[in-house]
Chain A
Amino acid sequence: MLAKRLIPCLDVADGRVKKGVNFVNLTDVGDPVAIAAAYQEQGADELVFLDISATNEHRKTMADLVEQVSAQVFMPLTIGGGISSVADMQRLLKAGADKIAINSSAVAQPELIQAGAEKFGNQCIVVAIDAAWDAQSQQYRVYTHGGQQATALDAITWAKQAVALGAGELLVTSMDRDGTKVGFDLALYQQLGAAVSVPIIASGGAGQLTDFVDVFKQSPVDGALAASVFHYGELTIGQVKAVLRAKGVVVR
């Protein structure tokens, strides 16, 4: 039986992990290779590196980062942030990425999902969706550009469309919960799970051990992504897995 996945997410700019990671005795808190190795040691099932740098020349360093991390750390690596062409995808996959996450560029040009899936296989293409509940229209609305721009898209409809175009996985962040540490948005993931059959990764809101239990027990997600609770050592991967295991959730 497939294990549920725990996925730390790291923000990267100029080849360095930003905000730092201080859960272990890292001498260099921004070194992506050291951080990835430490997470591998903790038992993380996958890593997401998100490029938050603004310019194209900085993005070239992302391929170098992937090249270095994948020489030392042997786990699935997903790369996202500013990827807007098949050539961008190819460069990162060639450097050692396993999956490519696209967000704003998928909304701007949905055909990019199809082009990537046809060239590299559905399993390579992750569509990341930032969504927030819109009380007026009673639906989850899709946002782009790091949550700055509202679109007219309903998240559930967009998720179905992305999967139909070839997305092999969805990484869905609840903007309402992101950074709040009050738990994952279970209703969002329940609706998504009923709408699509590809793996869903939940993101946004993780604060306590029970939040992970709830998202796996009460919604059909395959993985849970978190940043600060792991980076700052508030929770370790091992702690979360021990609690999940005790509650009957299959983890590695």
Chain B
Amino acid sequence: MFAIVDYDTGNTRNLQKAFDYLQVPTQLTADPVQLAAADAVILPGVGAFAAAMQALTERQLVPVLQALGRNGKPMLGICLGMQLLFESSTEYGDHAGLGLLQGHVTDIPTNLGVKVPQMGWNENQFQQPASPFASIDHEYTYFVHSYYAVSPTDQIVASVQHGVTVPSIVQRQNVIGMQFHPEKSGQVGLAQLATFKEMVMANDFSSN
């Protein structure tokens, strides 16, 4: 059972459908006991960073997620959910994140000849030869975002170019993030979720 964190963020339904398609049972929950009992915790998210952190705080989920992440619970943040895993974001102010990944989130520069938000399919460059996410190399995934993670390179599994180098998959041991929408990226996106599932089942996060 994968727990999808329920904190009233945008559309979690499509993510659930993708896991259904992969025959991974999911449960939408904000209950700390259920989150702790799950094989993995999925942190979705759309919208603004501060509002999402506020919603997590209101549900007293910030220390819960931090403890789970630090104690080895497999965790996957998607889109804004990935950004929340970092230390902080400059979106509308300066806001603390969950701090489970090193680095911070900032706006994609608008003076580099690219449109912001980045909206559409972009080509991934795979960065970590030992990682099981190798199938993403040179494949396109679907992005919708205006902010991106500034991350140490050893955390970056894959990236795309959009004026700047945008990390598309990040990993620090059991904590993984995907900036793109795997549930909207066709077979390539489903394959990345399947890889995460295999990592969880094998309980092997040693690659990064």
Distance, CA A2 to CA B5, complexed state (A): 30
Report B100-117 residues with CB < 8 Å from chain A CB. 114-115, 117
A71 within 8 A of B: yes
B189 within 8 A of A: yes
Q: How many A-B pairs with Cβ below 8 Å?
A: 77
**Which among B10, B121, B144, B161 is the interface contact of A45 at CB below 8 angstroms?**
B121
Distance, CA A223 to CA B115, complexed state (A): 14
Say yes or no: B186 contacts A75, CB within 8 Å: yes
The CB with the most chain A CB atoms within 10 A, among B117, B162, B185, B187, is that of B117
Assuming the contacts A2-B162, A5-B121, A74-B186, asked whether A96 and B140 have C-beta atoms less than 8 A apart, the reply is no
A19 within 8 A of B: no
Say yes or no: B13 contacts A94, CB within 8 Å: yes
Say yes or no: B190 contacts A74, CB within 8 Å: yes
**Which among A5, A40, A70, A123 is the interface contact of B14 at CB below 8 angstroms?**
A70
**Which among A3, A120, A121, A199 is the interface contact of B140 at CB below 8 angstroms?**
A3
Smallest beta-carbon distance B29→chain A, Å: 19
Say yes or no: A75 contacts B142, CB within 8 Å: yes
Distance, CA A168 to CA B46, complexed state (A): 15
Say yes or no: A123 contacts B186, CB within 8 Å: no
- Contact residues in B for A223 (Cβ distance below 8 Å): 120
Assuming the contacts A40-B186, A74-B184, A74-B185, asked whether A1 and B142 have C-beta atoms less than 8 A apart, the reply is no
- Contact residues in A for B201 (Cβ distance below 8 Å): none
Say yes or no: B11 contacts A74, CB within 8 Å: no
- Contact residues in B for A95 (Cβ distance below 8 Å): 13
Distance, CA A9 to CA B64, complexed state (A): 45
Say yes or no: B21 contacts A75, CB within 8 Å: no
User: Quick one: CB contact mask for B115-131 with A, threshold 8 Å, 1 for yes?
Assistant: 10111111100000000
Report A1-30 residues with CB < 8 Å from chain B CB. 1-3, 5
Chain A: residues with Cβ within 8 Å of the partner, total of: 29
- Contact residues in A for B122 (Cβ distance below 8 Å): 1-3
- Contact residues in A for B120 (Cβ distance below 8 Å): 2-3, 5, 45, 199, 222-223
The CB with the most chain A CB atoms within 10 A, among B20, B118, B186, B189, is that of B186
Report B167-195 residues with CB < 8 Å from chain A CB. 183-187, 189-190
**Which among A1, A93, A199 is the interface contact of B161 at CB below 8 angstroms?**
A1
Smallest beta-carbon distance A34→chain B, Å: 16
Say yes or no: B186 contacts A93, CB within 8 Å: no
A245 within 8 A of B: no
B38 within 8 A of A: no
User: Quick one: CB contact mask for A192-216 with B, threshold 8 Å, 1 for yes?
Assistant: 0000011100000000000000000
Say yes or no: A2 contacts B121, CB within 8 Å: yes
A178 within 8 A of B: no
Smallest beta-carbon distance B184→chain A, Å: 5
Distance, CA A113 to CA B31, complexed state (A): 36
Smallest beta-carbon distance B80→chain A, Å: 10
- Contact residues in B for A122 (Cβ distance below 8 Å): 117
Distance, CA A158 to CA B49, complexed state (A): 31
Say yes or no: B121 contacts A168, CB within 8 Å: no
Say yes or no: A76 contacts B115, CB within 8 Å: no
Smallest beta-carbon distance B109→chain A, Å: 14
A239 within 8 A of B: no
User: Quick one: CB contact mask for A164-206 with B, threshold 8 Å, 1 for yes?
Assistant: 0000110000000000000000000000000001110000000
Smallest beta-carbon distance A71→chain B, Å: 5
Q: List 12 A-B contacts (CB under 8 A).
A: A1-B123, A2-B115, A5-B120, A40-B186, A71-B21, A74-B183, A74-B184, A74-B187, A76-B184, A94-B13, A168-B117, A223-B120
A interface with B by C-beta (< 8 Å): 1-3, 5, 40, 45, 70-72, 74-76, 93-96, 98, 120-123, 168-169, 197-199, 222-223, 252
